Structure formats: structure tokens, C-alpha cells
Amino acid sequence: MRIAIDAMGGDKAPKEIVLGAQKAAAELKNVDFLLFGDQTQIKQHLTTEDLSNLEVIHTSEVIESDDEPVRAVRRKKDASMVVAGRAVKEGRADALFSAGNTGALLATGLLVIGRLPAIDRPGLMATMPVLSDKMDAFTMLDVGANADSKPINLQQHAILGSFYAKYGRGIKHPTVALLNNGSEASKGSDLTQKAFALLRDTDEINFIGNVEARDLLMGAADVVVADGFTGNAVLKSIEGTALGIAGLLKDILLNAGTKNKLAALLLKDSLKEIRGQLDYSEHGGAILIGLRQPVFKTHGSAESEAVYNTLKQISSLIQTDLMSDLNKVFGKKKEKLQENNKEETNGR
């Protein structure tokens, strides 16, 4: 098992990427970690020299966060992200990891690694913690690969998400719901109403209907399907709210007199637990699903702990049958999916 790592992508690269990879390599001896990037900079941050399962591969270019994605991937042939992608494409690695420019990573996935032929558009898929006892986590997609989605994209993402819940997360009969502005079947925009009709007739999934954003964190479904624009906004709203409240709490516990400081001391363990439940970095990165090989993304601001957690998540995922199964099922164009697609295109 080998993971190709774009060591130069992200606001805190290469330092935090290198430290996270080093920690993962020290722990996961059965996985090889390939660090792509400027070797001088990378080696500066490596504190252990003798990790036999960590290799540095020098590249001379970097894709910046404000680069125009497709152009950057096409022109910067020696960019760390692109060279790492090529290693995956050519079978020298099983997965690609980057904390860099999301658009460029999507372009690398499409142009370098290639999509599954039966999937029109890959989706960005994130797994987030649930705060009730109903389930541990839920998987949502698309959280931002596509700014404009069609009903057929949502249908394909529902199937992919359900596949992932089964083979990647080990849930036997994952429930799939559609993110909508009301729970009744009749609710929704033009897009969600059409998607609802498609999902209801999709045999491959256990569709349980609409879900509202308010109920996501309480465990409304194992898989939640959304168009990429709304999914992105919902993910960022949840993160922003959790961070905002965490900040308020911190202020109250640490900056507001002796009484509160004493309380903070008493609550130390419990607060750590809450933080664990809210900490999205522990739940790893987002997966760009719908490609021939898996591509993983974490926040641009990810630090070594988040990088390490995502790499652990990747290593367990590539030991499952998920990718080979996905390739078996979606490896060639499917008549049925094509037909739906035609209908849909004519209808719009």
C-alpha cells in the first residue's frame, strides 16, 4: 500500500504535511508514504531520518491557492500535486493526498487520474460526527466539487455515497437522504424535486426521503446527498458555528475571573471529550469520489494532526475493497445511467 502525498499544498505546507506524514509512517509500518515536493524544504522538517517507509520525491513546481485550476494542472507539469497524481495514475501509489487548491485537485483527479466512466462528475465527500447516540457519523456529498449540479449528478452521488458507507465505513444497509428545504416529498427547488424522483426509483440505494439541514448533526441518515453549492454552504455553516461557539466557551472559561477558571479545571476531561466530538480533523479529510483511484483533501489550514488522521483514514480505506468494487461497477459506461442522463438533459 502506498500513498502519494502532495507535500507542498496547503497554507502550512510543507512543514505540517511533512510532520503529519512522518507520524503516520512511524505508526503504520505496512504503508509506504511518498512525499512529493521540494526536497530541501521537506528534509528540513523531517526529524527522523530512518523511516524506511517514507520516501521523498523531488518536484520543482507548486500549484498556488490562487492558480486557475485547469490551466495550472496542464502547464505546471512538475508540480508536486500533478507528479503525485501521475504516480497514482501509473499504479505506483494507491491514493493521492493533498491539502492544496481544491479546484486544482479536482482537475488533477479528472485530467491525470481519470474519472470512472459511468460517473459524469466526481463529488467531494465528507464524513462528519453526529452528536446524538443514533450513529457515529454521517457522510455528505457533494460538499463542493461542483458549483452547479444536475439531478443525474445527485443520483450518481447517492449511489457512490452508499457504496462508500457500505465498503468504506462498514454499514450494512446505509440510509440515504436528500438535503432539502422541507421533509415532505413535495418540497424543494426544481433540482431537488427532480432528484427526489430519481432517487426514489434508484434500486441500488436505501432512500429514506428528504432531510433538512437542521437535523444533520442529530443523525438523520448515513448518507446525505446535496448539490455541490448547498453542500458546501452547509459544511461551512456547521464548521463556522462550531468554531464560533468553541471560541465563546474558551473566552468564558479562561478570561472571565477565578470562578470560571476553577470551573474550567473541573471540566477539563469533559471538554476534551466535547472537542473530540466536534473536531472535524479527527474525522479525516474529504474524498473526491467518482475517480479511478481515491483522491483525498483536507483543509488548506490543516496542521500535522489533521494530516496524520487523514493519512490513517486513507490507509484503512485503501485496504478495503471499495476502489476495486467501484471500478467493477462504474468501470464502463452504463446504459441505464446514460438514459437517465439524456432524459434529464432534455428536461432542462
* Minimum gap (Å) between residue 244 Cβ and a second copy: 4
Q: Which is nearer to a second copy, 145 or 326 (CB)?
A: 145
CB neighbours of residue 52 within 10 Å: 8
CA 37, CA 246: separation in Å to the nearest integer?
Answer: 35
The answer to whether 215 contacts a second copy (rule: CB under 8 A) is yes
Tell me which residues in 238-257 interact with a second copy (CB under 8 A).
238-245, 247-249, 252-253, 256
Do 118 and 45 touch, CB atoms closer than 8 A? no
Helix, strand, coil % (nearest 5) of the chain? 50, 15, 35
Stretch that binds a second copy, among 104-112, 235-243, 302-310, 325-333 (CB under 8 A): 235-243
Nearer to a second copy, 247 or 347 (CB): 247
Closest CA to 85 of 116, 114, 62: 114
How many C-beta neighbours within 10 Å does residue 150 have? 20
Q: Which three cell numbers stand for residue 320?
A: 478495503
Q: Please state the closest distance from residue 291 (CB atom) to a second copy, in A.
A: 21
Task: Give me Rg for the CA atoms of the chain.
Answer: 21
**Amino acid of residue 313:** Q
Alpha-carbon distance of 58 to 35, in angstroms, equals 8
**What residue has cell string 483527479?**
109
Per-residue binding letters, 264-303, with a second copy (x by CB under 8 A): x-xx--xx-xx--xx-------------------------
Segment near a second copy (CB under 8 A); pick from 40-48, 162-170, 236-244, 337-345: 236-244
* 162 makes contact with a second copy (CB under 8 A): no
Question: Which range touches a second copy (CB under 8 A), out of 34-42, 56-64, 104-112, 209-217?
Answer: 209-217
345 lies in the binding site for a second copy (CB under 8 A): no
Identify which of residues 94 and 227 has a Cβ nearer to a second copy in the complex. Answer: 227
x/- contact string, 52-91, with a second copy (CB under 8 A)? --------------x-------------------------
Smallest distance, Å, CB 131 to a second copy? 4
Helix locations, the chain, DSSP H: 15-27, 39-45, 69-75, 80-89, 102-107, 151-163, 190-200, 228-254, 257-266, 268-278, 304-317, 322-330, 335-347
Residues lying near a second copy in the complex (CB under 8 A): 66, 131-132, 144, 147-148, 179, 181, 184, 187-190, 192, 212-218, 226, 228-230, 232-234, 236-245, 247-249, 252-253, 256, 259-260, 262-264, 266-267, 270-271, 273-274, 277-278
